[in-house]
Amino acid sequence: MKIRNIGAIFAISLAFVGVGHAAGIEKPECIAPAKPGGGFDLTCRIAQTGLDPQLDNPMQVTFMPGGVGAVAINLFNTTRTDDDNAIVAFSSGSLLNMATGKYGEWDETDVRFLASIGADFGAVVVRADSQYNTLGDLMEAAENDLNSIVFGAGGSIGSQDWMKAALLLGSRKLNPRDMRYVAFDGGGESIAALLGGSIEVYMGDVGEMVSHMDSGKLKILAVMSPDRLDAPFADIPTTKELGYDAEWTILRGFYMGKDVSDEAYNAWKNAFEAAYETEEFKTIQKEKGLLPLNMAGQELNASVLERVAIMREIARGAGLID
């Protein structure tokens, strides 16, 4: 009798040891669908660090640039539809591409949305030695001669980053179609172009600026959040407080191929939900400039489908799609 009790206790102990670990995920991989240095890189790095206590093996980050996510979604709808080990980073920009048909035949119904890691916000970024010391300087120049300013970001016309600039210019009744805009494949390329002088204004994301804050090479004129953010962005004004009706909140998260097993999908979901509860994960979010926006599994999937439907209507109203 005692032996049976000891055996039962041992079995229960093993069960509790396994809680919080993503059993069955042998080679965890996060796909960042762009070149290093941008928002997708940031998204994967947060997962790599934040999920480490929940995974049995270290997570690998793989870069897959092309079409601001188009190459990745194509791959995960053709040869890797059932890859249980891989998650793919997405943002609100990815959802906008789905809504406007920029991923060709693939849309929001062709993947399984897995988990979010928080909310990021748009940022108006220039070089440290830029002639524009404030957002007011930039907007005054735009009102005087919009064509004299070269904007750039990681997405084509109609993309999330283009929409940030369009909202900002539209708040002063300027036509965004008149903007000189250069599209790059991700934030890393855009920042390199800004530093190299190819563009003057980068419509980026707050989170991807964290690693550049101490370089002294860039300055953020404003963040596109509803309220001021915590350090290291506490001293940076919002577009709203400066009098511009131009806010942009970015959802960051991950999807998987549509044919992954329920077992793997739920293992990943459980790993994220366990991470959300830890102080370590909360600290990572804060350090990377993200606000908590934690959803996983069907809760996230339903939210994303609703967001894409709203984006599709906005894009239709803006004449970006029929």
Lowest mean pLDDT among 43-47, 52-56, 70-74, 307-311: 307-311
- The angle formed by the CA atoms of residues 41, 39 and 245, to the nearest 5 degrees, is 175
Would you place residue 21 in the very low, low, confident or very high pLDDT band (cuts 50, 70, 90)?
A: low
CATH number at residue 239: 3.40.190.10
User: Structurally, how many domains does the chain consist of?
Assistant: 2
What is the model's pLDDT at position 27? Answer: 96
Q: Are residues 144 and 259 in the same domain?
A: no
Written as six digits, the tokens of 202 are 């980068």
Q: Are residues 83 and 72 in the same domain?
A: yes
CATH number at residue 309: 3.40.190.150
Contact 285, 128 (CB under 8 A): no
Residue 18 pLDDT > 80: no
In the listed set 193, 221, 248, which residue is the last one of a domain according to the structure? 248
Q: Give the number of other Cβ atoms within 10 Å of residue 40's Cβ.
A: 34
Would you place residue 23 in the very low, low, confident or very high pLDDT band (cuts 50, 70, 90)?
A: low
Domain for residue 322, yes or no? no
Average pLDDT, the chain: 89
- Give the residue, 282 or 185, on which the prediction is more confident: 282
Q: Are residues 116 and 126 in the same domain?
A: no
Residue 276 pLDDT > 70: yes
Backbone angles phi, psi at 143, to 5 degrees: -70, -30
- Give the residue, 232 or 169, on which the prediction is more confident: 169
What is the model's pLDDT at position 176? Answer: 87
Tens of pLDDT, residue by residue over 302-316, are 999 999 998 898 788
Q: d(Cα 250, Cα 290) in Å, to the nearest integer?
A: 9
Query: Tokens 């016309």 — which residue?
Result: 157
Q: Are residues 234 and 133 in the same domain?
A: yes
Mean pLDDT of 4-28: 49
Contact 72, 102 (CB under 8 A): no
Q: Are residues 67 and 215 in the same domain?
A: no
Would you place residue 17 in the very low, low, confident or very high pLDDT band (cuts 50, 70, 90)?
A: very low
Written as six digits, the tokens of 254 are 């991950």
Domain for residue 7, yes or no? no
Domain for residue 149, yes or no? yes
Mean pLDDT of 60-75: 95
Quote the pTM value: 0.75
Q: Are residues 101 and 180 in the same domain?
A: no
Written as six digits, the tokens of 212 are 């550049």
Query: Tokens 């229960």 — which residue?
Result: 12
Domain for residue 184, yes or no? yes
Q: Are residues 290 and 210 in the same domain?
A: no
Residue 198 pLDDT > 60: yes
Mean pLDDT of 273-284: 95
Mean pLDDT of 154-173: 88
Cα–Cα distances (Å) from 143 to 147, 234, 312, in that order, read 10, 28, 30
Q: Are residues 147 and 216 in the same domain?
A: yes
Residue 7 pLDDT > 80: no
- State the residue range of the domain holding 290: 27-120+250-317
Mean pLDDT of 142-149: 97
Contact 306, 298 (CB under 8 A): no
Written as six digits, the tokens of 161 are 């980053």
Would you place residue 213 in the very low, low, confident or very high pLDDT band (cuts 50, 70, 90)?
A: confident
What percent of the chain shows pLDDT beyond 90? Answer: 69
Q: Are residues 197 and 283 in the same domain?
A: no
Q: Are residues 53 and 161 in the same domain?
A: no
Tens of pLDDT, residue by residue over 238-250, are 999 999 999 898 8
